[in-house]
């Protein structure tokens, strides 16, 4: 699975469930993708 596919699937999962599964988190970490950034980007109402 390419990094682009991992990101696409992660954003889809966040959109549908508002969270990431353990498998998705593990795959992202293995690919070196920072999941904190994904979560922050996907939050439409960040705290001030």
pLDDT in tens, the chain (48 residues): 888 899 899 889 988 998 889 999 899 989 888 888 777 776 667 665
What pLDDT score does 44 carry?
67
What pLDDT score does 16 carry?
92
Separation of CA 43 from chain center:
11
Q: Is there a domain that residue 28 lies in? A: yes
What pLDDT score does 23 carry?
93
Q: Is there a domain that residue 30 lies in? A: yes
**Taking Cα atoms as reference points, which of 4, 13, 47 lies closest to residue 22?**
13
Domain count, the chain: 1
Q: Is there a domain that residue 47 lies in? A: no
Domain carrying residue 20:
3-42
What pLDDT score does 26 carry?
92
């Amino acid at each position: 699975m390419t990094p682009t596919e991992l990101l696409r699937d992660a954003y889809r999962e966040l959109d549908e469930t508002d969270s990431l599964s353990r498998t998705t988190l593990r795959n992202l970490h293995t690919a070196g993708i920072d999941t904190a950034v994904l979560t922050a980007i996907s939050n439409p109402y960040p705290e001030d």
